[in-house]
Amino acid sequence: MHQNEGVAIIGAGPVGLATALGLARSGVPCVVHESLDTIAPEQRGAAFHPPTLEMLRELGIGEPLMQMGLRIPIWQMRDRVDGIYAEFDLGLLADVTDFPFRFHLPQHYLSTVLLDELRRQPNVEIRFGETLESVDPGESSVRLAFATKNGRRETGASWVVGADGAHSTVRKTAGFSFNGFTWQEKFLVTNVCNPLETLGYTGTAYVSDPDAWAVVLKLFDDKRDNLWRVAMPAAADLDDALLLDPENVQRRLRETLGSDTSFSLVYTGTYRVHQRVADTFIKGRILLAGDAAHINNPIGGFGLNGGIHDACNLATKLAEVWHGKSGGEALELYSRQRRTVALEVVQKNSIRNKNLMDERDPDVRRRNQQNMHLISLDPQQSREYLMETSMLSAVLRAEQIS
């Protein structure tokens, strides 16, 4: 491949790999550059919404994915003290999607499936162990500089897709803005190996409480059953060594989940959470997708799903430009569509979800929970709410933007 041919994709996470596969299936040559030496088994996105599963099926990887994962049709909203106040069944959407459930599969499984499929494509090169240092855009191509084990390497590409995460080098070196805010508290994330169904949890539960709220998800794992993720708030000024002390984690889990069980800890970690969106998703021949373009808190599962939606939208439009079927306006449309959804849907709903879960005023909390309870009892209101929370409405919203 000539060094100025093809699309350079920075980042071999799910978004970068999905973009590459979409391009490859449309006959566009591309090179994926990844700083790590292999796919990272990250403790990150794990819940897929119906439209995302439809897009992954269109990419040709639906069958291997469906052989893994957990199908979760019913999800709960709970008060930590008073228990369940609303349940929603995605089966209500069986007439509008072939996937009327949430699908739980940690994202590194998706990355592995995507990578396997990409290696069957003749026009894709995967380069691990290459850390991007800078991008230098020109009128007809972009120069890229990488640090490798053998020193520094420079190459070129017709287009560059920054899918290199929240700390994106592409975004920073190309001069995009990334406006928004950082939540005050940290998130304490644990994986436990316990049968939480015995405590009344479905595979997805959102637990409301001013101080001890939680997101509870059952995870697919090819080595163990009964693996669950529990994400909880943690004070930003507390040292991680204290937060991650096993006795403290056990106490937090017992308090949050309402059980005196001794939990089998598989993983614990903390991270800071941001709400930010780039000022645009395109500058000349440089494009952003996924966390490089927009980040949000994980409540509602919008981050990974929104990134895959970016990838599929972008791959379609960039292929049209590559083959001369569209001009640069197609990529401007990608930016408008996906940035609008990031602002109007992802940011709005993820912030609303967190505020709903940690509301401090008892009267407001009671009214919110009663309102959600009434919505859950009304099939039409439930259907509308599920269309929004499953991101089916977000896909329709993007299609309205021209």
- Give the pair of three-digit tokens for residue 270: 């903390």
pLDDT value of residue 42: 72
Output the average pLDDT for the chain: 92
* Cα 107 from Cα 217, distance rounded (Å): 14
- pLDDT tens for residues 378-396? 999 999 999 999 999 888 8
Non-local (6+) Cβ contacts of 111 within 8 A are 12, 13, 14, 17, 39
* Cα 209 from Cα 304, distance rounded (Å): 25
Most confident of 18-22, 342-346, 393-397: 18-22
* Cα 171 from Cα 293, distance rounded (Å): 8
Q: Name the CATH architecture for the domain at 7-42+107-179+276-400.
A: 3-Layer(bba) Sandwich (3.50)
- Which of 1-5, 97-101, 179-183, 377-381 is least confident? 1-5
Helix intervals (H) in 3-134: 14-25, 50-58, 62-66, 107-118
Percent above pLDDT 70 for the chain: 99
* Cα 137 from Cα 143, distance rounded (Å): 6
pLDDT value of residue 2: 37
- Give the pair of three-digit tokens for residue 63: 């069958």
pLDDT value of residue 1: 34
Buried b (16+ CB within 10 A) or exposed e, 140-168: ebbbbebeeeeeeeebbbbbbbbbbbbeb
Q: What is the pTM of this model?
A: 0.94
pLDDT value of residue 43: 66
pLDDT value of residue 361: 92
